Amino acid sequence: MRVVCLANLCTALGKRSSCSRSVSDIAEAIDLLMGTRLRDSELPRAIQMNMLDTLGKLLQSRFARCQDCTDIDTAIALHREVVQMRPSLQPWRTQALESLGDAILHRFQFYRDLQDINEAITLLEEVLQAHPVPNLNRLRVLNSLANSYLVRFEACGNVEDIDAAVRLLREGLEVVFAPHLHNIFLSNLGAALRWRFAERRDPNDLSEAIYSYQRALEIGAPSDQRRAEVLHNLAVALKARYEDQGDPRDIEMAVKLHREEVKIGHDLNPGSPLNSLGNALQTRFEHHGDIADLDESIIHFREALELRPEPHPFRTSSLNNLAGALQQRFHLKSNSADIDEAVQLVEDALKLTPRDHPRRGTLYETLGTSLHYKALSQKSDEDSVSRSILHLRNAATFTSSTAFQRFNSARRWAEVANRLGHRSCLEAYRTAIGLLPQLVSFSSDIKVRRKILSGADFAGLGTSSAICAIRFNALNAAVEYLEESRFVFWALALRLRTPLKELAAVNGGLAERLRKTSQQLEQTSFRDQDGEIFPAGQAQARKIEAEAARCRELANEWEATVKEIREIPKFSEFLHPKRMEALDQAAKYGPIVMLLAGKSLCLGLILKGSKKVEHVPLSGLDSGIVAIYAQLLRAGLKEDIHLPDFFNGRTIDKSEESTWRHRLFGRRENSDTMSSEDILRAILADLWISIVRPVLKALRLKASKCEDPPRLWWCPTGQLAFLPIHAAGVYDPGHTDCVADYAVSSYTPTIGSLLKTQIGHCTSSPFKMTVIIEPHAEGCSTLPGTAKELDGIERTVGKTRMVALRSPTASEALKSLANSSVVHFACHGIQDARDPLDSGLLLADGRLKVSQIMRGVEQEDGTRAGARDEFSLAYLSACETVKGDDGTPDEAMHLAASLIFAGFHGVVATMWTMCDDDGPAVAVAFYEHLLGQCTPERAARADLTNAAKALHVAVGKLREKENMTFKRWVPFVHFGM
């Protein structure tokens, strides 16, 4: 039959066009079919439908190359006609639905009508249901549907669409067998994971994306176009990893791959390789500072823009990229033409972008930053200043952007407003800080949350926001910023353990719903996924992702419940960050001193329970000096320090060495070597002169030898958290002036955590103490002093009031946390520098980790419990139990803070390794003072809030010993009440 031959010819022409890149073949095929009576009633129905379907696909192919909207509209009309000709669910109908869905998807990618993408997904989901058995048809639809979800994500920003795409692509990879299909699925999975990484920052996603692209290249692409696409995706992923991890080899390889991609070209989107190469060169410029890279990137951005005339869907992206590069060049060369063009380009891009499109947030930020540079170049340009702030505020509050985008925009807004002296910087910091819980939400496992918080974007946020507030004399805001921007990790965890007694009295149903959801969420959100998941296979990966999806579902349910609770009268502030009025109540037992180190000086904020914050400027130290002190102390505790070597390894100029020598040695500037004693003496004296003495003066505290010295809580931030503020003083022979002469010092990670510990001075239930000793931890030196320590504690406390656990497992030790008034650990402790969540106490079967303590102990009913609700005390007679993580000083990933946040009200711990003989001596003296007034009959009245004073007394006795050194007595510290 002639018409069948004609159909075959047109199909062949279409295939040849795909290989030759010739539009003429497609045009010839379309003309042939258009000249045929396709709806002739004499033609068999099956042939009619096949011819209409072929014509629709050819028109769709021509549209992809020529962007004539008539072609795609006609193609969709033809496919709809074919669907109407196949009313029943049969193979031909599913084929027609698939063709229609694919055509509508193509139209959406160009014209961005959301109704199109939603319809395409609905159609393809119906087709997938018609192919339940794994075969080529199901594989094809899995890929098409996954691609549709990714396209909708790009338009709407709903990360659940990426999850759906990943799920579909993983299913395909489990059964795919043909190499060319394997290549396609791997590449598309890589794209989905790379986008999801940008949303959730899980490094496993980015690692697997790169692995997937590399595997796709190894398998080999069926065409140059396909290879170019894989090269593009791999290069973009490597650039993302460079931005996340900073390995310069990644950006070098990304540039190389993009250059290869440009040589191959891209038929359907010729501007894409040029645009991506420009992005990679711009990023490399930011690393190397080579202006040639920036200039070349601008050339490529201009070339890409030429290839993307209106109404090209990616024109706005090219406009924004070129504007950003010109903005950077203006910053270097101050050529006003560059910044004027940048402003105009972004304004043009905004006109082309729908009001709710996710890309609009990025455009707002680029325009705001460009206007800021323009304002700086034209000193009296008030219009540019106000417009800059307006657009940066728009970027930070644009709800269609991701939380990470809004956070970065808010930080940019704060930086610009602060530099311009614009008061909106306070609003900007409040906005950035308010986004933190979304960035480390329950949907990520705990290690991903910790990694996010250790990123450069978060460094110093609390300090910079507080200093900004102090500058505008907003002292209450400064305290609130510090409180809300630090320990985000812990604050999120504690939200799940919020007491619900008051809520239950008002609405028992809501309280019960929140309680159950919180318990389930706590069990799932503290999952700890070690390593990269992709080598385990797609089935295992799908299982892990199902668990993560369940966690997100619970998180959404929890958020919805909290929102409902806030609608109840008197509960509008439920689980909102505490404001100054509430925080001030934490100082009712003694003043709280928040310390922060700025670039030029340190600052103190004092809460005294008077509803007024007192600001104390502290000259003499700054953030740079504090950071060097922390490094010097860390290194000096291990071995003597050779100063020339130490200075060479730090950012200390030769011109600064003399100043540092004088600071450290005083008149003995010519010394080159410092012992731990030298280092501690110098640091403690400087802390005393520059920080502690001015604070004590502001508090009007006097040196006293009285029996009941006042309490004082230190809340150091940033690198100050690594310095022994509690021991600051001048320790000259025959004369000492130090903190201990004025007050009993304690630390608190946050003001809020101190509020939680203030529940009264006595326990109302029987006193119970558990002593855990492990002298023979695997891989560690023996601790012979632990037996001596246990004997001393038994003599002091009495065997009837304590339980001794000798060499218990981590599980057994964990159970004791929930059942004891006092838990005493005498064992090795370790700080894991690679992953602070793996830090812990070394017991018979390994570590009792920070992550385990956070999860608590599982009860018979499946719930988890931390420390007892009533007053409880932990004594960590182990090394490094408050040695924090350098990367997250404001998250306190150490054991002492873990126990405070887990529910203990007081913790005794050590900042570094202690002498084996000192552990038993301090412990015995501590318990003698703490429990000395308690007989067995009065054990229930033990006032454990005297722990800080007991440690104060015990360390005082240790200091009196002959030949005592700073290294031995300084590390003992108290946290909490």
Distance CA 186, CA 214 (A): 9
Nearest residue to 867 via CA among 514, 518, 446, 497: 497
Decide if 974 contacts 906 (C-beta within 8 A).
yes
Give the pair of three-digit tokens for residue 598: 């700025």
User: Any idea which of 156-165, 485-494, 820-829, 854-863 has the lowest mean pLDDT?
Assistant: 854-863
pLDDT digits (tens, 9 = 90+) for 668-691: 556 778 888 989 999 999 999 999
Quote the pTM value: 0.84
Pick the CATH number of 759-976 from 3.40.50.1000, 3.30.56.10, 3.40.50.1460, 1.10.1040.10: 3.40.50.1460
Q: What is the pLDDT of residue 127?
A: 92
> 322 pLDDT exceeds 50?
yes
| Residue 743 CB neighbour total at 10 angstroms | 22
Side-chain-side CA neighbours of residue 840 (13 Å): 22
pLDDT digits (tens, 9 = 90+) for 638-656: 888 887 778 776 666 666 7
Nearest residue to 131 via CA among 101, 90, 96: 90
Nearest residue to 230 via CA among 272, 280, 184: 184
> 886 pLDDT exceeds 70?
no
pLDDT digits (tens, 9 = 90+) for 445-501: 777 777 777 776 777 899 999 999 999 999 999 999 999 998 887 788 778 878 888
SS3 of 509, please?
Answer: helix
Distance CA 840, CA 823 (A): 15
pLDDT digits (tens, 9 = 90+) for 728-758: 999 988 889 999 999 999 999 889 888 876 6
Distance CA 83, CA 124 (A): 13
Element (DSSP H or E) covering residue 842? strand 840-843
Decide if 666 contacts 699 (C-beta within 8 A).
no
> If you average pLDDT over residues 349-365, what whole number do you get?
93
Topology of domain 588-746 in CATH is Nucleotidyltransferase; domain 5 (3.30.420)
Q: What is the pLDDT of residue 867?
A: 46
Distance CA 432, CA 467 (A): 15
Q: What is the pLDDT of residue 672?
A: 78
> 566 pLDDT exceeds 60?
yes
> 939 pLDDT exceeds 50?
no
Contacts of 318 (CB under 8 A, 6+ apart): 271, 275, 301, 304, 305, 308
Domain 2-130 has CATH 1.25.40.10: yes
| Residue 644 CB neighbour total at 10 angstroms | 11
Q: Which amino acid is at 640?
A: D
> 387 pLDDT exceeds 50?
yes
pLDDT digits (tens, 9 = 90+) for 61-79: 888 888 788 999 999 999 9
Nearest residue to 575 via CA among 516, 493, 508: 493
pLDDT digits (tens, 9 = 90+) for 508-536: 999 999 999 988 887 776 655 554 455 45
Q: Where are the alpha helices (DSSP H) in 708-835?
A: 751-757, 785-797, 810-819
Instruction: Please report which confidence band the pLDDT of residue 761 belongs to, taking 50, 70 and 90 as the band edges.
Output: very low
> 760 pLDDT exceeds 50?
no
Percentage of the chain beyond pLDDT 90 is 45
Q: What is the pLDDT of residue 420?
A: 87
Instruction: Please report which confidence band the pLDDT of residue 286 belongs to, taking 50, 70 and 90 as the band edges.
Output: very high
Q: What phi, psi does 941 have (nearest 5°)?
A: -100, 10
Q: What is the pLDDT of residue 650?
A: 66
Distance CA 786, CA 357 (A): 64
pLDDT digits (tens, 9 = 90+) for 698-720: 999 998 877 789 999 999 998 89
Give the pair of three-digit tokens for residue 955: 């360390």
> 148 pLDDT exceeds 90?
yes
Q: What is the pLDDT of residue 862?
A: 47
CA angle 734, 738, 741 (to 5 degrees): 95
> If you average pLDDT over residues 871-897, what whole number do you get?
71
Q: What is the pLDDT of residue 141?
A: 94
pLDDT digits (tens, 9 = 90+) for 76-134: 999 998 888 876 656 778 888 999 999 999 999 888 889 999 999 999 999 999 888 88
Distance CA 798, CA 801 (A): 6
Decide if 572 contacts 457 (C-beta within 8 A).
no
Q: Per DSSP, what are the bridge partners of residue 848?
A: 841
Q: What is the pLDDT of residue 513?
A: 94
User: Any idea which of 21-25, 157-161, 319-323, 858-862 has the lowest mean pLDDT?
Assistant: 858-862
Greater confidence (752 vs 38) lies with 752
Map tokens 């379309």 to a residue: 30
Nearest residue to 959 via CA among 729, 664, 641: 729
Q: What is the pLDDT of residue 871?
A: 63
| pLDDT, the chain, mean | 86
| CATH topology identical between 2-130 and 759-976 | no
- Domain boundary assignment for the chain: 2-130, 514-574, 588-746, 759-976
